[in-house]
Homo-oligomer: A and B are copies of this chain.
């Protein structure tokens, strides 16, 4: 193993090569993308990451429960709960009790919330566009399809309801 006194193996007998280890690479890429995106919605709108995710989900789906949002984005339910409270306090989100099942609350954006969504969405898309601009359209489609496959499989692998609780 340690043959030389001042060993410098430089990944000779490395067991895991991080640059090829998918979970590590996914984290690095997700962190880079998240950090960059966060600058937009944090600085300009004072939104946290979960806050933006809640708004984006409600912007797309109109009405959802906190549980749905958590499961969709692999967030802890307490994370979503607190994000929703903060957004409600700022008047961006409203809760409405579901009369069919009064355990859950139906969430929706207010007019103000939709305004932020409408203002933020194009900037988010522009960022994404810039990010994927190194790939050809064909490559983008391929990446998309591979990620879908992987995500479906990863969700299936996750212990029971780990797909967000």
Contact = CB atoms under 8 A, between A and B. Distances in A.
A82 interface: no
B122 A154 contact: no
> Interface size class for chain A?
35 or more
> Do most interface residues of chain A lie in helix, strand or loop, or is the interface mixed?
helix
Given A61-B10, A117-B15, A73 B134 contact: no
Identical chains in the assembly: 2
Given A16-B124, A29-B154, A30-B30, A131 B60 contact: no
Contacts of A90: none
A150 interface: yes
Given A32-B154, A35-B74, A60-B11, A131 B18 contact: no
Interface of A: 7-11, 14-18, 20-37, 53, 56-57, 59-63, 72-74, 117-118, 121-122, 124-125, 127-128, 130-135, 139, 142-144, 146-147, 149-155, 157-158, 162-163
